[in-house]
């Protein structure tokens, strides 16, 4: 009997120990347990630091429709009750002499409805072309296909015009539209229904050149109780084999929105002939009077991304690889022409910075390559946007821009210290919860920090510039022996050079991983943000090497808001 008791006790203990171990393995930390001791997971040398770009003849990059049919279809949020639909028709041209296409030759229509094949509304938009010009011997010029942008919201037949919000739509060729609609009808825009699936086609019905049917789901209305399903976050994506793995992995995680934090195509890594050029942005082309770019990479990228962007909205912000200077000092021409962003809807006069709501989350997208000084237009817009914010309606405040303010890697170390010094105090005053950035080709999550000091009311900064680009993953840290850059190494493409007041610091670089850096790892991947309620949000970083491992990831934490402890200037209940 004594032996049996001992055996039973041992079995009970083993079961308890197994359960305790299982629970420990399943435990997801929260920011309430922080600040955390800094952790570095070194680069796994069994992996490659990078991969080659996909060639332009790769099936994911080639054109698959006739010239007048839509391709590169992409969605973007306009407002809680409207959506942007963008696409490209026609053939781009590249050569010593190019002639821009006439946008008026192809219409911009979107037919949509709540049942497949039954389109109860049609809306029209605008179209444009852009050129990338290098009037120098030996360099080729480029002019785009016709880029279409249509802002869709639902429509109600009102019979006669009563105001400026009423639109005149020609529907005689609209296959699938209601039979009772006359050739010309007057419609009043009433907004899309929230949290609803819509089916749509885009193109020009008069040319019988409409796309296949696609669908999207609208977001819940701004509310403390309603949030998007999942939000994917990617930076510095490019068009490599690693990029392809990142996007495949992202699709498996089934997001409802994609936040793209700059450096999209890396088209400026190529000469105008399409051959590989510089290996880094700061490198100069020795034989060219201007840094070149191969614009067809943009078209390939749009085709590559269409399986994602035609179904879920992609919200973008510009990075340094989107600058693309051309003749006459013109910059960002491709970025501005290709993407619709809710700048006017959010009171911004620039596509370089804007805001939008997705359920109970307010997103602020800031431009690091335009004026960010306290005396500038962007700062004034940001103040007004934050002042209008009601945290009882949108409790979560998430910001994004391309270059990180907090970064312990050697690459781009303190490069945008000027921007931090200009804007950080304002974001802190209004209680920003999370900040996403890219630029550094690695992953890093910070403890809550403000002005380089641990602060329980500071944001959680996350660097996610590891989408897969051709410049390879960054592996060196500023605190590694002999890896500290000199103060003049990382010069920004925009703005001046600012450095910390070193009176309280012994050296320019820390001699170990800084206390504000909670976790860092050099791997390619993407992130998923899942907001649970007005207090908790689950953040998961998915590494590319874990794509076929169920429930495997590189980093995971619950980000917890504490509005009762951190008084802000935002309007919110005590």
Contact call for residues 216 and 311 (beta carbons, < 8 A): yes
The single residue listed with the structure tokens 């839509």 is: 70
CA distances from 235 to 149, 259, 265, 552 (A): 24, 8, 11, 21
Read off the tokens for 179.
């039979």
Distance, in Å, from the CA atom of 23 to the CA atom of 279, rounded to the nearest integer, reads: 46
Phi, psi of 34 (to 5 degrees): -85, 180
Answer for the pair 86, 349: CB distance below 8 angstroms, yes or no: no
How many other CB atoms are found less than 10 A from the CB of residue 317? 32
Those residues whose C-beta lies under 8 Å from the C-beta of residue 78, and which sit 6 or more positions away, are: 84, 151, 153, 340, 342, 345
Is residue 40 within 8 Å of residue 478, measured between CB atoms?
no
| Sheet containing 131-132, strands listed edge to edge, beginning at the edge strand earlier in sequence | 93-95, 141-143, 131-132
Nearest to 566 by CA among 458, 460, 461: 458
Q: Is 1 exposed, middle or buried (0-12, 13-18, 19+ CB in 10 A)?
A: exposed
In terms of Cβ atoms closer than 10 Å to its own Cβ (0-12, 13-18, 19+), residue 562 is middle
Take residue 213 and report the two structure tokens written for it: 């049917």
Residue that has been written with the tokens 């949000």 in this structure: 537
SS3 522: coil
Rounded to the nearest 5°, which phi and psi values hold at 463?
-95, 125
Question: Quick check: is 564 catalytic?
Answer: no
Which residues share a beta bridge with 87? 148
State both tokens at 561: 């808001």
In which order are the strands placed within the sheet that holds 155-157?
155-157, 184-189, 166-170
| Residues paired with 118 in a beta bridge | 115
CA angle 337, 338, 341 (to 5 degrees): 90
Helix (H, G, I), strand (E, B) or coil at 5: helix
Mark 4-37 as b/e (b = at least 16 C-beta within 10 Å): eeeeeeeeeeeeeeeeeeeeeeeeeeebeebbbe
φ, ψ at 296 (rounded to 5°): -60, -20
Q: Which residues, including other chains, have CB under 8 Å from residue 257's CB and lie 6 or more apart?
A: 77, 219, 228, 230, 231, 232, 312, 313, 314, 315, 358
The 3-class secondary structure across 451-483, one letter per residue, is CCEECCCCCEEEEECCCCCCCCCCCCECCCCCC
- The string of DSSP letters for 152-201 reads E--EEE-SS--STTEEEEE-TT-TTS-TT--SEEEEEE--PPTT-EEEEE
Catalytic residue from among 249, 362, 402, 412 = 412
* Positions marked catalytic: 412
């Amino acid at each position: 009997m004594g032996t049996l008791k001992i055996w039973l006790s041992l079995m009970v203990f083993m079961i308890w120990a197994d359960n305790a171990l299982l629970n420990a393995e399943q435990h997801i930390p929260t920011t309430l347990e922080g600040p955390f001791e800094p952790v570095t997971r070194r680069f796994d040398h069994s992996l490659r630091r990078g991969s080659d770009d996909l060639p332009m003849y790769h099936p994911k990059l080639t054109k698959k429709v006739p010239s007048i049919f839509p391709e590169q279809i992409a969605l973007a949020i306009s407002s809680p009750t409207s959506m942007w639909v963008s696409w490209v028709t026609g053939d781009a041209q590249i050569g010593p002499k190019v002639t821009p296409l006439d946008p008026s030759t192809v219409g911009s229509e979107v037919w949509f409805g709540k049942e497949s094949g039954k389109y109860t509304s049609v809306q029209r938009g605008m179209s444009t072309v852009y050129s990338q010009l290098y009037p120098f011997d030996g360099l080729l010029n480029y002019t785009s296909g016709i880029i279409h942008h249509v802002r869709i919201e639902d429509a109600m037949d009102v019979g006669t015009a009563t105001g400026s919000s009423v639109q005149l739509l020609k529907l005689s060729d609209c296959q699938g539209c209601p039979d009772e609609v006359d050739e010309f009808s007057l419609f009043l825009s009433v907004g899309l229904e929230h949290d609803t699936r819509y089916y749509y086609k885009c193109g020009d019905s008069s040319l019988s050149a409409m796309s296949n049917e696609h669908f999207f789901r609208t977001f819940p209305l701004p509310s403390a109780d309603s949030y998007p399903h999942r939000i994917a976050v990617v930076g510095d994506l490019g068009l490599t084999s690693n990029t392809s793995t990142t996007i495949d992995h992202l699709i498996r995680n089934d997001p409802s929105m994609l936040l793209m934090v700059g450096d999209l195509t890396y088209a400026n890594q190529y000469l105008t002939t399409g051959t590989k050029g510089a290996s880094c942005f700061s490198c100069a082309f020795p034989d060219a009077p201007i840094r070149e770019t191969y614009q067809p990479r943009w078209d390939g990228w749009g085709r590559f991304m269409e399986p994602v962007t035609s179904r879920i909205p992609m919200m973008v912000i510009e990075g340094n690889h989107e600058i693309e200077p051309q003749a006459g000092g013109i910059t960002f021409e491709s970025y501005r022409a290709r993407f619709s962003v809710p700048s006017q809807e959010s009171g911004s006069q620039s596509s370089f910075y804007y805001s939008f709501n997705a359920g109970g989350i307010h997103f602020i997208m800031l431009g690091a390559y335009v004026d960010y000084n306290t005396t500038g237009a962007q700062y004034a817009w940001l103040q007004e946007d934050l002042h209008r914010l009601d945290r009882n309606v949108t409790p979560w405040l998430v910001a994004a821009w391309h270059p990180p303010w907090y970064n312990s890697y050697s690459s781009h170390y303190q490069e945008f210290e000027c921007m931090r010094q200009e804007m950080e105090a304002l974001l802190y005053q209004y209680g920003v919860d999370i900040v996403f950035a890219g630029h550094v080709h690695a992953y890093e999550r910070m403890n809550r920090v403000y002005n380089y000091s641990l602060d329980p009311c500071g944001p959680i900064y996350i660097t996610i510039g590891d989408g897969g680009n051709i410049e390879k993953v960054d592996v060196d840290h500023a605190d590694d022996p002999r890896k500290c850059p000199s103060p003049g190494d990382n010069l920004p493409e925009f703005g001046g050079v600012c450095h910390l007041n070193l009176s309280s610091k012994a050296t320019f670089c820390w001699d170990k991983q800084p206390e504000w850096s909670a976790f860092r790892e050099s791997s390619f991947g993407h992130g998923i943000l899942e907001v649970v309620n007005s207090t908790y949000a689950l953040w998961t970083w998915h590494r590319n090497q874990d794509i076929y491992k169920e429930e495997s990831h590189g980093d995971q934490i619950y980000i917890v808001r504490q509005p009762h402890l951190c008084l802000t200037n935002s309007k919110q209940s005590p």
